[in-house]
C-alpha cells in the first residue's frame, strides 16, 4: 500500500476511482451490485493500469546520479528488450499490406473488416496486425516509436530496424486519428528538448531529405505517401474537407456524434446514464442513429459518465502534465517524453476508439512517472 500511496498521482487517481463509483451508485437501471461491479471493472481496465508501470520499479534500482547521464540509463532496458518482439508484429503488418488480407482477424470472425473494395485510395486496406482496430494498433506503434527512439541511444541494428518498422506500420494503418496525434506528440517533444528553432530545423531536414528521396521511391509507395500526406492536410487545413475527401471518419461526423452525446448529457449531467448505457439502451435500440459508429471517447463520457467523471479524468491529465513539467530539472528526458505522450493521447481520445489502448498506454505512463519520481528522490538525497 505504501508503494501505491507514494505515487504523486495517488489522490488524483483516487478521485477518478471515486467518480467511477458514483456513476454506479447513481445508475438506477439495474441491480446496485452489478453497477458497482461495472464501475470497478471499468477503472481496473483503464486508469488503475497506471500502477502496473508504477510498481514495476523499486527504489533499489536507482543507479544514475546525474540528469546528464540519463540518456544511457538502465530504465530504457524495458524498451530495448521489447523492441525485438515487435518485429513479429510489424513484419506481419507489412506482409498483409501486400496481400490485403489478415488471417488473424479472419480466424476470429472479422474477415475483411478493414478491406474496403469500393475505395481506390490509400485507405482501401488498413493494417491492424494482431489488433482488432487500426486506431489501437496505430497508437501502439506511435507510443513505442516515441519511447524507443528517444530513450534508446545506443541502438543495435535489430532495434533500429524494429523502430523503423513501427513507424512504417503506423503509416500503414492509414488511420489519421493515430497519425496526427503522433505528429503532435513528436513536435511537442522536439519543442521541449530543442526549442522552436529546433523543430524548424528538423522540419527543414525532413522536407529536404524527402525531396531527394521521393523520386526514387517505387510508384505504389509514392502514391500511398502522397495520398496520406494530402489526407492529413485535408483534415487539419481550414480549407480542407475535414477528412471527407478520402472517406472514413471525418471531423464533421465526429462533431455530430459529440454534439448528440452532449445533448444526452443534459438529461443526467452529473453522473451520466451509467456504464454500458450506450450499447444496451441506445445503439441496440437504434434510438439515436446519429450515434451509430461513434468512436470518440468524449461520446462515452457524455452519455455514460457525466461531468464529475469528465472533471476527474481531465484533472488526472493536467496533474500529469504539471508533475512532468515541474520535475524536468531532475529528469528532463523522461519528463519531456511524458508530456509528449499526454499531448498525443488526448487528441487520440477525442477522435479515435480507445478500446484496448489502456492496457499498454497507462502502464508505460506509470513507468515513466516512476522513473522521474525515483530520479528526483535520488538527486534530492545526494544533495541533502
SS3 of residue 287 by DSSP: coil
Q: Can you give the pLDDT at residue 147?
A: 93
- What is the torsion angle, in degrees rounded to the nearest 10, for the CA atoms of residue 154, residue 157, residue 158 and residue 163? 70
Helices (H), the chain: 2-5, 10-25, 32-44, 50-54, 77-99, 103-107, 134-151, 157-172, 176-213, 219-236, 251-265, 277, 297-300, 307-326, 332-351, 358-382
Residue 359, all three cell numbers: 492496457
Q: What is the DSSP string of 222-248?
A: HHHHHHHHHHHHHHHSTTS-TTGGG-S
pLDDT value at residue 348: 93
pLDDT score at 65: 40
CA distance 184 to 191: 11
Residue 290: its pLDDT value, please?
Answer: 65
Beta-bridged to residue 125, according to DSSP, are 115
Query: Block means of pLDDT (10 residues each) for the chain, length 384 residues?
Result: 81 96 88 91 95 82 44 73 91 90 81 61 77 89 93 88 94 88 92 80 75 71 76 68 56 78 87 84 59 78 92 96 95 94 94 86 95 88 72
- C-alpha to C-alpha distance for 224 and 272, rounded to whole angstroms: 42
Q: What integer pLDDT is reported at residue 104 of this predicted model?
A: 84
Closest CA to 193 of 77, 68, 337: 337
Give the chain's largest Cα–Cα span: 67
Q: Which three cell numbers stand for residue 16?
A: 477518478
8 A C-beta contact, residue 19 and residue 309: yes
| Grid cell for residue 353 | 476508439
Residue-wise DSSP of 29-48: SS-HHHHHHHHHHHHHTTGG
Amino acid at each position: 500500500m505504501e508503494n501505491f500511496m507514494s505515487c504523486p498521482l495517488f489522490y488524483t487517481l483516487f478521485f477518478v476511482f471515486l467518480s467511477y463509483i458514483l456513476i454506479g451508485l447513481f445508475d438506477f437501471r439495474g441491480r446496485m451490485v452489478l453497477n458497482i461491479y461495472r464501475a470497478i471493472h471499468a477503472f481496473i481496465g483503464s486508469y488503475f493500469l497506471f500502477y502496473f508501470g508504477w510498481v514495476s520499479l523499486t527504489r533499489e534500482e536507482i543507479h544514475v546520479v546525474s540528469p546528464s547521464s540519463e540518456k544511457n540509463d538502465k530504465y530504457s532496458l524495458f524498451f530495448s528488450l521489447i523492441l525485438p518482439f515487435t518485429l513479429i508484429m510489424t513484419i506481419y503488418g507489412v506482409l498483409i499490406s501486400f496481400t490485403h488480407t489478415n488471417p488473424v482477424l479472419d480466424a476470429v470472425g472479422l474477415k475483411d473488416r478493414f478491406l474496403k473494395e469500393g475505395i481506390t485510395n490509400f485507405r482501401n486496406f488498413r493494417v491492424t496486425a494482431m489488433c482488432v482496430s487500426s486506431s489501437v494498433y496505430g497508437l501502439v506503434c506511435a507510443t513505442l516509436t516515441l519511447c524507443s527512439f528517444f530513450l534508446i541511444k545506443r541502438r543495435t541494428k535489430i532495434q533500429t530496424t524494429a523502430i523503423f518498422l513501427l513507424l512504417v506500420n503506423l503509416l500503414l494503418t492509414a488511420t489519421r486519428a493515430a497519425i496526427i496525434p503522433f505528429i503532435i506528440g513528436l513536435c511537442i517533444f522536439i519543442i521541449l528538448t530543442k526549442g522552436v528553432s529546433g523543430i524548424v530545423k528538423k522540419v527543414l531536414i525532413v522536407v529536404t531529405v524527402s525531396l531527394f528521396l521521393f523520386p526514387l521511391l517505387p510508384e505504389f509507395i509514392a502514391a500511398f505517401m502522397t495520398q496520406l500526406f494530402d489526407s492529413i492536410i485535408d483534415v487539419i487545413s481550414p480549407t480542407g474537407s475535414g477528412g471527407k475527401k478520402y472517406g472514413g471518419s471525418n471531423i464533421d461526423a465526429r462533431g455530430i456524434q459529440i454534439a448528440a452525446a452532449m445533448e444526452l448529457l443534459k438529461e443526467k449531467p452529473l453522473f451520466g446514464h451509467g456504464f454500458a448505457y450506450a450499447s444496451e439502451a441506445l445503439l441496440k435500440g437504434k434510438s439515436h442513429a446519429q450515434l451509430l459508429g461513434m468512436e470518440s471517447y468524449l461520446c462515452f463520457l457524455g452519455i455514460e459518465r457525466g461531468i464529475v467523471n469528465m472533471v476527474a479524468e481531465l484533472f488526472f491529465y493536467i496533474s500529469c502534465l504539471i508533475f512532468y513539467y515541474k520535475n524536468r530539472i531532475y529528469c528532463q528526458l523522461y519528463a519531456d517524453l511524458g508530456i509528449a505522450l499526454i499531448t498525443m493521447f488526448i487528441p487520440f481520445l477525442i477522435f479515435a476508439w480507445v478500446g484496448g489502448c489502456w492496457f499498454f498506454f497507462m502502464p508505460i505512463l506509470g513507468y515513466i512517472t516512476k522513473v522521474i519520481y525515483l530520479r528526483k528522490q535520488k538527486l534530492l538525497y545526494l544533495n541533502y
